[in-house]
Structure 1
Amino acid sequence: MQVTETLNQGLKRGFTVVVPASELESKRTAKLTELGRTMKLAGFRPGKIPLAVVRQRYGTAVTGEILEQTVNDATRDLMTERGLRQASQPKVELVSGAEPTGATDLEFTVELELLPEIVQPDLTQLSLTRLKAEPDPATVDKALADIAKRQRSFETIEETRGATTGEVLTVDFLGKVEGVPFEGGEAQDVNVEIGGEGFIPGFAEQLDGLAPGESRTIEVTFPEDYQATELAGKLATFDITAKALKRAIEPAIDDDLAKKLGFEGLEQVREALSGQVRQEYDQMSRMRIKRELLDQLALQTPFDAPEGMVEGEFQSIWSRVEQDQKAGRLDEEDKDKDEATLRSDYRRIAERRVKLGLLLAEIGRSNGVTVTSDEMVRAMRAEASRYPGQEAQVIDFFRQNPQAAETLRGPIFENKVVDYVLELAKVEEKVVTPEELAEIPPAEL
Structure 2
Amino acid sequence: MQVKETQNEGLKRGYQFTLPAADLAAQVDAKLKEAQPEVEMKGFRKGKVPMALLKKQFGQRVMGDAMQEAIDQAMREHLEKSGDRPALQPKIEMVNGETWKEGDDVVVDVTYEALPAIPEVDLSGVELERLVVKAEDAQVDEALENLAKNAQSFDDKKKGAKAAKDDQIVIDFKGMVDGEAFEGGTAEDYPLVLGSGSFIPGFEDQLIGHKVGDDVEVKVQFPADYGHPALAGKDAVFETKVKAIKAPKAAELDDELAKKFGAESLDALKGQIRERLEAELSGASRQVMKRALLDKLDALVSFELPEALVEAEAGQIAHQLYHEEHPDDHGHNHGEIEPTDEHKKLAERRVRLGLLLAEIGQKAEVTVSDQEMTQAVLRQARQFPGQERAFFEFVQQNPQAQQQLRAPIFEDKVIDHIVEGAKVKDKAVSKEDLEKAIEALDEV
TM-score (norm 1): 0.80
Q: Does 1:290 align with 2:287?
A: no
1:426 aligns with 2:423: yes
How far the C-alpha of 1:151 sits from its partner, in A, is 1.7
- Provide closer, same or farther for how the CA distance between residues 397 and 197 of structure 1 changes in structure 2, counting only shifts above 3 A: closer
8 Å CA contact 2:156–2:245 kept in 1: the answer is yes
| Shift, 1:307, TM fit | 1.9
Q: Report Cα offsets for 1:251-280 as digits up to 9, x if no partner.
A: 321233334444332111111111211221
Identify which range, 408-417 or 311-320, moves more after superposition.
311-320
Partner of 1:156: 156
Contact 1:172-1:190 within 8 A present in 2 as well = no
Structure 2 letter corresponding to 1:294: L
Q: Tell me the alpha carbon deviations over residues 288-341 of structure 1, each in whole angstroms, 9 at most, x when there is no partner.
A: 222221222222342232222222223323333332333369xxxxxxxxx999
1:65 equivalent in alignment to 2:62: no
Paired residue secondary structure (2:135): coil
Q: CA deviation at 1:69?
A: 1.0
Distance in 2, Cα, partners of 1:120 & 1:430: 30
Q: Which whole-Å CA distance do the structure 2 matches of 1:10 and 1:173 have between them? A: 74
CA–CA separation in structure 2 for the residues paired with 1:344 and 1:186:
58
| Corresponding residue SS for 1:6 | strand
Following TM superposition, by how much is the alpha carbon of 1:242 offset from its aligned partner in structure 2, in angstroms?
8.1
- SS where residue 103 of structure 1 aligns? coil
Q: Provide the residue aligned with 2:440 in structure 1.
A: 441
> For the structure 1 residues 432 and 218, does the alpha-carbon distance in structure 2 shift closer, same or farther, using more than 3 Å as the test?
farther
Aligned to 1:143: 143
Report if the CA contact (8 A) 2:314-2:339 is conserved: no
Q: Deviations over 1:94-153 (max 9, x none)?
A: 013798864222211011111122113211121111111111111111111111111222
Aligned residues of 1:7 and 1:15 also touching (Cα < 8 A): yes
Offset, 1:3: 2.3
Deviation larger for 260-269 or 159-168: 159-168
Counterpart among 362, 366, 381 of residue 365 in structure 1: 362
- The answer as to 2:318 corresponding to 1:321 is no
Partner secondary structure for residue 442 of structure 2: coil
Match of 1:24?
24
Query: 8 Å contact 1:120–1:359 — kept in the other structure?
Result: no
- Tell me the SS of whatever aligns to 1:134: coil
1:354 aligns with 2:351: yes
Instruction: Give, in whole Å, the separation in 2 of the partners of 1:174 and 1:308.
Output: 62
For residues 267 and 255 of structure 1, the distance between their equivalents in structure 2, rounded to whole angstroms, comes to 8
For structure 2, the 5+ residue unaligned runs are 176-183, 227-232, 330-335
Give the structure 1 partner of residue 230 of structure 2.
none
Which amino acid is the alignment partner of residue 350 of structure 2? R
User: Any conservation in 2 of the 1:64–1:98 contact (CA below 8 Å)?
Assistant: no
Whole-Å Cα distance in 1 between the matches of residues 431 and 185 of structure 2? 37
The equivalent residue for 1:108 is: 108
Residues 1:238 and 1:416: Cα distance change in structure 2 (over 3 Å): farther
Aligned partners of 2:156 and 2:246 also within 8 Å: yes
Q: State how far apart, in whole Å, the 2-side matches of 1:16 and 1:406 are.
A: 31
Aligned residue for 1:42, secondary structure, equals coil
**Deviation, structure 1 residue 190:** 5.7
Going from structure 1 to structure 2, the CA distance change for 1:328 and 1:428 (only over 3 Å counts) comes to farther
Q: CA deviation at 1:428?
A: 0.8
- Which of 400, 406, 412 is the matching residue for 2:403? 406
Q: Which amino acid aligns with 1:430?
A: K
Whether the 8 Å CA contact 2:201–2:220 is kept in 1: the answer is no
CA gap of 1:130–1:48, structure 2 versus 1, over 3 A, is same
CA contact (8 A) 2:206 2:218 kept: no
Asked if residue 375 in structure 1 is aligned to residue 363 in structure 2, the reply is: no
Q: Secondary structure at the match of 2:358?
A: helix
SS at match of 1:155: strand
* Matched letter for residue 356 of structure 2: L
Query: Equivalents in 2 of 1:67, 1:28: separation in Å?
Result: 9
The 8 Å contact of residues 217 and 237 in structure 1, kept in 2 or not, is answered as yes
2:13 counterpart of 1:52: no
Q: In structure 1, what residue type is equivalent to 2:398?
A: N
What's the secondary structure of 1:276's corresponding residue?
A: helix
Report the number of matched residues. Answer: 423
Which has the larger displacement, 239-248 or 397-406? 239-248
Alpha-carbon distance change, 387 to 203 in structure 1, aligned in 2, over 3 angstroms? same
Question: Structure 1 vs Structure 2: percent identity of aligned residues?
Answer: 37
**Partner amino acid, structure 2, of 1:363:** I
Which SS does the other structure have where 1:327 is aligned?
A: coil
Q: Deviations over 1:22-68 (max 9, x none)?
A: 22122122112222232122333443433222212211111111111
Q: Distance in 2 between matches of 1:342 and 1:242?
A: 58
- 2 CA distance for matches of 1:327 and 1:430? 38
> In 2 relative to 1, CA 372–257 (structure 1 residues): closer, same or farther, beyond 3 Å?
closer
For normalisation by structure 2, the TM-score amounts to 0.80
Tell me the alpha carbon deviations over residues 343-383 of structure 1, each in whole angstroms, 9 at most, x when there is no partner.
33223222222221111111111221122233323333444
- Partner residue, 1:87: 87
Cα RMSD (Å): 4.1
Q: State the AA in 2 paired with 1:298.
A: D
CA 1:57–1:256 in 2, change beyond 3 Å: closer, same or farther?
A: closer
- Mapped partners of 2:245, 2:275: distance in 1: 38
Kept after mapping to 2: 8 A contact 1:128/1:427: yes
Structure 2 CA distance, aligned partners of 1:367 and 1:149?
Answer: 49
- The one-letter amino acid paired with 1:50 is P
CA distance in 2, matches of 1:208, 1:173: 16
**Partner SS, residue 310 of structure 2:** helix
Give the distance between the partners of 2:187 and 2:308, measured in 1 at CA: 51
Stretches of structure 1 that go unaligned for 5 or more consecutive residues are 176-183, 223-227, 229-234, 330-338
| CA distances 1:376-433 after superposition (whole Å, capped 9, x unpaired) | 2333344445555655554444334333322221122111111111111111111111
1:214-269 CA-partner distances (Å, limit 9, x unpaired)? 456689x99xxxxx9xxxxxx99998868354321223212333344443321111
Q: Residue in 2 aligned with 1:180?
A: none
Aligned AA for 2:427? K
Distance (whole Å) between structure 1 residues aligned to residue 326 and residue 370 of structure 2: 41
Q: 1:440 to 1:118 in 2, by over 3 A?
A: same
Query: Is 1:252 aligned to residue 278 of structure 2?
Result: no
